[in-house]
Amino acid sequence: MLQAKRRSGRYGWQGRFLSLFASSFMALWLLINPSIISGLPLGWRLPVWSLGLWAVGAGFFHGMGLIRRGWMQHLLGAPRCWALLMLFYLIVLLRS
């Protein structure tokens, strides 16, 4: 049986855990209180919703270690997913 080598990357398991925890908390927070985004006018709701989808998805992908090298690492990798999550957290905190 062949085993795949696990690449923890440059940030290690602590960075992956932080990404997974932050994105899970944000997903649960928006599940409990969806009016944070649904109360926005349509012109703002769609970009904020898209940012949230990208940020939470990138956090889950990075947290689970599903990022491959190349364009996927560039779009969903560690520094960018943390920046997206922090921007989305800031927007949600200002709205609540």
Burial 64-91 (b: 16+ CB within 10 A, else e): eeebeeeeeeeebbbebbbebbeebbeb
Q: Return all residues near 58 (Cβ < 8 A) that are at least 6 apart.
A: 19, 23, 75, 76, 80, 81, 84, 85
CA dist., res. 64 & res. 51, Å (int): 20
Give the start-end residues of each E strand in the chain. none
Instruction: Return per-residue pLDDT of the chain as tens, 96 residues.
Output: 555 455 555 667 887 888 889 899 999 999 999 888 888 888 999 999 998 888 888 888 877 877 777 776 767 777 777 888 889 889 888 888
